[in-house]
A and B are shown apart, each in its own frame.
Chain A
């Protein structure tokens, strides 16, 4: 069944049932493998994408719900060849990436959060990370990267 969706500003058509997992469709149908699947049960947050600006666990999100909506994935934070987003750059500057498998989901969760809350406290950042697991970094450098990205009140 053909299904229309908008991903990173591009209108696309996929052959998938309404009930298919958005994460699965992104990765397997559209080959956008930047969105990671760590558990397929909504616990790890690696699959976090934005639907109309809201962070969702795409592994549990039926693709039928995104017709007419704007889906944004990690590939949409910076177009190919374009400079990194402020948050992506801050992750590199702060050494917030180790294995990096959680990074796409965390970047999306924090992008949504920081867009809406440009002057967060450290506690706010921790709360924004509540749905994302990272096993490598101990979160410290991720928190620092998030704070660093909005240091001058600029958008991420």
Chain B
């Protein structure tokens, strides 16, 4: 019996192509007669288009097609259909597309853009969330009431979406005589996904359909968005996903694809569009900047009896996927630790800035930052040890989430203990100059969007896998799904052949997002594999004249139980089946069963429950340089619940990469906006961590299997980023003795805090 492939760190199927330079990413993909496109973008944040004349551009050498708003009549959005592809009457942000050109060469396309006559009469732009919410603020969209919505929700003027949670009697909790009130405000900037491969797409128009190749994470969503903008049927679009060069949420929809589709139809040629790095920054969809306010009522013995939290998210000019995610704040700001009564209000607010969007963990990293800074603040206020305060209040077995979902098993305490075995709190919590330690804990979901898979037994005995789940780079498909199929059918992993995501070939799949691919697609593999086994056993039983009950799958063969030498290769079974029962194939599908919760406590919440919950505790130790203000992460420990580690090396990779992205968020990254325009337009000033910033990370995997997950697996990909800024901000605050309630914490901030602290203590001394 061959050893199980589950839990083994096998090598990824697409690895060799990637190290040889053979893998075809979207920036590499080409077609016959390819044209090159460029997009003309608005230089102003808000205004009326008074002239848009493309006639000169259309006559320029090499130009095949020009597209404007009239070519894209529809609107898109996951929940609120507010987004247009190109500005028609007015522009709503700097960088908004106004026209697009396809030409023989990229230089000709650029020259044609320059020949477009565009005049915009500027209007007063609404540039930040607080201005947008002020009484009498100009509306970013005067026609907001006309937008179609997929789910009903609270929308009003500049509030694109509002989510509310209310549990218990909050006012009574705050009115109690025996409580201390602790109040905080936190601010975070935009963070760019900064994948190394820019967004890129190629489209052609063939037999009345659009055939699009791109590096989208979510093939079916991208297909639907293209169809929305072009006002055609979703099935008029075929989306094929290329190798993806990083995404992290930033490619969770279609962006450049619709331009290529329109230009391909108008020119009759294949059209490629690739973002420049500058376009990535000025017109990508970074994690939103946000303001979080938290107020807690706490008793002297550290019980949190009441909480009021408010979260203001900067939506930018259009909504995309964010209304779908808005209510995540409820779990993050009133969850993880026990809270008596809670009220959480989250507003997703329109501004005349580039639309923000999903980035690994969506709101999680800044909600965790806010909550965990607030927890330290409360502990310090009460004079309680910060770890002890957490252990007293952390969610336990059988507790409910803020929305009333009961969670039977909560391994938070175990995670804290396992971390303590690696870094005993007693050894690090004692104050040393310029050295600090921080803790953070987060519970997270495995996104429950539906999954499907078709398995086929090829005539050579290999197994073909057809799913529209795309390989984002994490290995979820190339390792996770491949290992699950291999284990289910007892074929070597090398004999599992994966088809790239293709909306024409596969049934619906909920996309490479929300840590879901291994868990959800893996769960769909089980029934598909069962069907395949049934057909294999049926064919083999007739061929080998043995009862199906006496057969087993082993090493790419079917063998008689107890007589391993009496066996047939699966190739023989597949070929036999062709002419007896027909080709062997099976399909599987999976949708997570609804989880009971208290619907009466939420409004506008599209993600009210946590599917296949995971638990995460991080510890950060930092040194702060007193002269330069530089923060060095000297030690980092992660305890992560994964259910079952299908491929431990791949999981480590997710943790090491996610933690470093979190360190970027905590210490270096901010996409600065000024007068509505993006200041950081290059990787020179938008600083993502380099090899120098990667700290030693110690990893503890907790494996409490989820019975619904494949071999027990839960989601893994997103959460390593969630607690990082929280743990580091707590550690820096501890090291300096001053609270850091904004991100990123730059050396300038540290030096300013040190000066302020020393100035204050000098005053006290005098």
Are A133 and B690 in contact, CB atoms less than 8 angstroms apart?
yes
Contact A97 B196 (CB under 8 A): no
Q: Collect the chain B residues with CB atoms within 8 Å of residue A46's CB.
A: 196
The answer to whether the Cβ of A99 comes within 8 Å of any Cβ in the partner chain is yes
Q: A73-B21, A135-B195, A136-B473 are in contact. Are A129 and B691 (CB under 8 A)?
A: yes
Is A98 a contact partner of B657 (Cβ separation < 8 A)?
yes
| CB <8 Å contact, A91 and B15 | yes
Of residues 239 to 298 in B, which have CB atoms within 8 Å of A's CB atoms?
243-248, 276-277
Q: A40-B277, A99-B197 are in contact. Are A135 and B19 (CB under 8 A)?
A: no
What residues of chain A lie closer than 8 Å to B22, measured between beta carbons? 34
Give chain B residues whose Cβ lies under 8 Å from the Cβ of A78: 20
Chain B residues within 8 Å of A41, by CB: 277, 682-684
Q: Which residue of chain A is the closest to B245 with respect to CB atoms?
A: A101
Judge whether B25 and A101 touch: CB under 8 Å: yes
Residue numbers in A under 8 Å from B503 (CB-CB): none
Interface residue stretch chosen among A60-68, A102-110, A112-120:
A102-110
Residue-wise interface mask of A (115-151) relative to B, using a CB-CB cutoff of 8 A (1 in contact, 0 not):
0000000000110011011111111111100000000
A101 to B683, CA, bound (A): 16
Q: Is the CB of B197 within 8 A of A36?
A: yes
A99–B245 CB distance below 8 A: yes
The docked-state distance in angstroms from the alpha carbon of A98 to that of B24 is 15
B244 to chain A, nearest CB (A): 6
Q: Which of B9, B24, B193, B196 contacts A133 (CB 8 A)?
A: B196
Measured between beta carbons, the chain A residues less than 8 angstroms from B198 are 38
Check if A95 sits within 8 Å of B653, measured CB to CB.
Answer: yes
Report the separation of the CA atoms of residues A95 and B14 in the bound assembly, to the nearest whole angstrom: 12
Give CA–CA (A143, B694) in the complex, Å: 10
- Nearest-neighbour CB distance to chain A for B36, whole angstroms, equals 10
Residues of A within 8 A of B20 (CB): 34, 74-75, 77-78, 84, 88
A-B interface pairs (CB < 8 A), number: 169
Out of B9, B15, B28, B277, name the residue touching A39 (CB < 8 Å): B277
Interface string of B614-642 (1 = CB under 8 A from A): 00000000000000000000000000000
Distance from A89 Cβ to chain B, minimum over Cβ atoms (Å): 8
Known A41-B277, A136-B473: A100·B18 in contact at CB below 8 Å: yes
Roughly how many angstroms separate A40 CA and B19 CA in the complex, as a whole number?
Answer: 21
Does A92 lie at the interface of the complex (its beta carbon under 8 Å from any beta carbon of B)?
yes
Q: Could you say which residues of chain B place their CB within 8 Å of the CB of A107?
A: 19
Known pairs A40-B276, A98-B473, A139-B660; A92 contacts B19 (CB<8 A): yes
- Asked whether, in the complex, the Cβ of A133 is within 8 Å of the Cβ of B683, the reply is yes
Q: Is B356 among interface residues, defined by CB-CB distance under 8 A?
A: no
Set of chain B residues within 8 Å of A104, measured between Cβ atoms: 19, 21
A140 touches B694 (CB 8 A): yes
Question: Would you call A133 and B19 a contact (CB within 8 A)?
Answer: no
Query: Nearest CB to that of A130 among chain B residues?
Result: B690
Q: In the complex, what residues of B have CB within 8 A of residue A6's CB?
A: none
A74 CB → nearest B CB, Å: 4
Chain A residues 30 to 44 lying within 8 A of chain B, measured CB to CB, are 32-41, 43-44
CB atoms of A36 and B277 under 8 A apart: no
Rounded to whole Å, the gap between the CB of B681 and the closest CB of chain A is: 10
Expressed in whole angstroms, the Cα–Cα distance for A35 and B16 within the complex equals: 15
For B224, the chain A residues whose CB sits under 8 A away are none
B311 at the binding interface (Cβ < 8 Å): no
Residues of A within 8 A of B691 (CB): 125-126, 129-130, 132, 134, 139, 142-143
Task: Across the interface, name the chain A residue whose C-beta is closest to B19.
Answer: A88
Q: Which of A41, A74, A97 has the most CB of B within 10 A?
A: A97
A95 contacts B652, CB within 8 Å? Answer: yes
Chain A residues whose C-beta falls within 8 Å of the C-beta of B37 in the assembled complex: none
Which 9 A/B pairs are nearest by Cβ-Cβ distance?
A34-B21, A99-B473, A101-B245, A100-B18, A138-B656, A74-B21, A43-B683, A138-B660, A33-B28
